[in-house]
Amino acid sequence: MSLLLALDQGTTSSRAILFTERGEVVASGQRPLSQRYPEPGWLEQDPEEIWFSLWAAMQDCLGAVPNATDRIVAIGIANQRETTILWDRHTGRPVHPAIGWQCRRTIPICQKLREDGLEPVFHEKTGLVLDPYFSGTKVAWILQQRPELRRRAERGDILFGTVDTWLVYRLTGGRLHRTDVSNASRTLMFNIHDLTWDEQLLQILDIPPAMCPEVGASAGEIGEIDRQWLGRVIPVTGMAGDQQAALLGQGCLKPGMVKNTYGTGSFVLMNTGQRPVPSRHGLLTTVAWSISGDVTYALEGSVFASGAVVQWLRDELQLIGRSEEAEALARSVPDTGGVYLVPAFSGLGAPYWDEGARGIITGITRGTDRAHLVRAALEAIAYQSRDVLEAMREDSGLWVEALRVDGGAAKNGFLLQFQADILGTAVERSRNLEATAWGAALLAGMGRGLLSVDNLPAGLGFDPPFLPEMEQNIRETLYRGWKAAIDRARS
Ligand SMILES: Nc1ncnc2c1ncn2[C@@H]1O[C@H](COP(=O)(O)OP(=O)(O)O)[C@@H](O)[C@H]1O
Ligand SMILES: O=P(O)(O)OC[C@H](O)CO
């Protein structure tokens, strides 16, 4: 039986998963990935570690099944988006640490662009807002700090890429400098209407066009991995940003369908079909994918910290030993006792876009214990998703009837029940929490001509839904308390 290899390079780990064409998982490998915080609000990763962790995950995955490599017919890549890498075209070596998507170092650049009245032009052309989240100001920052790199970039000697581009470059033995439209749409330099790097925006950001990768479709003949990695030449035929891949992997193929992936952050995406829907309520307009010449767009609410708050409870506060403990602790108390925790570690993303906001905990009394704090942290993940879905209703006129969910934190049943309660909407958990990887596998299968977008395999289906049980007046009282806490966290 032929197999599809999905490579999912996420913020906290790299994964390789082998799928059958029907969506069964044959084997998987996962390696953790570290993050560095060199200054408050800054976040970096090591591009070599990103690559190595993915390579090692591939070896773990393929080592588990005899002769698996011979049966792989196509490879698909999904990746953490916006994270910015610059490298030397000649040596293939990074010239700067990767600047992570949550990194806030470019706040002053964004402020200056706003003062110059440039926000509308960026918004109209890219569908994004001026926030340090996106790659453009990260590239601009490196070039401002390192004039010698700018000179070399102008000569075409320094290449820019998001993580997909970096991985494809390495996988193909340095032969390909390429991205896809879904990743390009996260850079603040890409025009989502004519699907090209935008000369005016590049000029404003002072970024030499020669640095930018070629942009292609999300499925099709992309390249071939070098024989040295798996002992065989295998075609790469799918690539997309991880959140767009999850939208596909969750089967959200029709306009109006919505998914939420709870990983480091939460990313709610609504398929809006073949037209970009501009947002007036703090959402992003973004490219979902391009398949067989058809471009699909999405509305997105990006929340910067969701699963990250659980990591923070575990690693920094040491209130829990393992992420899984959060659920039982949250259930051990009937409510948070009035405590709200706003995890604005990297400012607030959608729908507030407040780069200066910082995390707060409100409503603490002498009786507050760690269970209340842990519960407040999990509830915050759900409140933030409601904020985004409220904005989606304003923009699209639609209130989601059912929210499809996946990602690492979607393992948490307490979180999903509270999510259903606070939305008043059914929450459907995918049986395959690795919807991102499955989306990458689907793209690879389509790009190889094995699957068609009109007739995609359904994957593994859903668990019984989490249905709302909370009374309406309690739901709205709790949500009002959240909005008050948000007001206090804002800059
Ligand atoms: N049982 C759990 N309850 C809540 N959060 C969890 C649980 N297990 C894992 N997480 C969170 O899920 C995130 C990892 O999910 P994953 O989808 O792998 O993220 P990413 O792709 O961003 O690396 C981490 O932030 C972790 O804290
Ligand atoms: O690595 P994840 O799954 O948290 O995804 C990160 C997003 O792509 C950032 O935009």
Q: How would you class 477 by CB atoms within 10 Å of its CB: exposed for 0-12, middle for 13-18, buried for 19 or more?
A: exposed
Nearest to 226 by CA among 160, 164, 163, 169: 169
Indicate the helix (H) or strand (E) that contains 8: strand 3-9
Q: Are the folds of 3-242 and 251-429+461-491 the same?
A: yes
Atom of ligand 2 nearest to the CA of 265: 4
Q: Which residues of the chain have pLDDT under 50?
A: none
Count of H helices and E strands in the chain?
A: 17, 22
Output the CA 307–ligand 1 centroid distance in Å. Answer: 5
User: Closest ligand 1 atom, CA of 242?
Assistant: 21
Render pLDDT for 252-265 as a digit per residue (tens, 0 to 9): 999 989 999 999 99
- Alpha carbons 147 and 154: distance in angstroms, whole number: 11
* Residue 419 known to bind ligand: no
Q: Is 242 annotated as a binding residue?
A: yes
Residue of 43, 81, 131 best suited for mutating to test ligand 2, as the one with most atoms within 8 Å of CB:
81
261: Cα within 13 Å, side-chain hemisphere: 29
Instruction: Name the closest-CA residue to atom 26, ligand 1.
Output: 307
Burial of 22 (0-12, 13-18, 19+ CB in 10 A): exposed
Residue whose CA lies nearest to ligand 1 atom number 10: 409
Q: How many CB atoms lie within 10 A of CB 12?
A: 15
Nearest ligand 2 atom to the CA of 261 is 3
Distance 243 CA to ligand 2 centre (A): 7
Quote the pLDDT of residue 120: 96
Residue nearest atom 25 of ligand 1, based on CA coordinates: 307
CA-nearest residue, atom 6 of ligand 2: 80
Atom 5 (ligand 2) nearest CA = 80
Instruction: Give yes or no for a cis peptide into 278 (omega within 30° of 0).
Output: no
For residues 299 and 332, the answer to whether their CB atoms sit within 8 Å is no
Query: Quick one: CATH architecture of 3-242?
Result: 2-Layer Sandwich (3.30)
Ligand 2 pocket, residues with Cβ under 6 angstroms = 10-11, 80-82, 101, 241-243, 263-265, 302
Give the closest residue to 261 by CA, choosing from 446, 2, 8, 467.
8
Q: What is the pLDDT of residue 263?
A: 92
- Domain 251-429+461-491 architecture: 2-Layer Sandwich (3.30)
pLDDT at 180: 97
In whole angstroms, what is the distance from residue 484 CA to residue 476 CA? Answer: 12
Residue 456: what pLDDT?
Answer: 82
Asked if residue 380 has its Cβ within 6 Å of ligand 1, the reply is no
Q: Where are the domains of the chain?
A: 3-242, 251-429+461-491
The predicted complex's ipTM stands at 0.97
Strand 196-197 to strand 214-216: parallel, antiparallel, or no bridges (unpaired)?
Answer: unpaired
